[in-house]
Amino acid sequence: MKDAIIAELVQHATEELSHPTLVSDRIIQLGGTLKFNFKNFFYRISDRISDYLKILLRKRFF
């Protein structure tokens, strides 16, 4: 049961992490410019998130 819950939470977190990417890709497709820097955001919140989430974010954006 515990493993199933962990897997579901990881899946949900991964889906949530894809949302900013989808939005930023669409902004660029429409000719807009992004003013958001993922690296700055990551370093600002890095002391508030788990090690596992840090690994997911690094894999996704760096």
User: Do the Cβ atoms of 24 and 34 come closer than 8 Å?
Assistant: yes
What pLDDT does 61 receive? 66
What pLDDT does 31 receive? 94
Q: pLDDT tens-digit profile of 2-53?
A: 788 888 888 888 888 788 788 888 988 999 987 777 677 767 776 777 777 7
- Single pTM value for the model: 0.45
Give DSSP secondary structure letters for 1-62: -HHHHHHHHHHHHHHHHHHHHHHHHHHHHTT------HHHHHHHHGGGS-HHHHHHHHHHH-
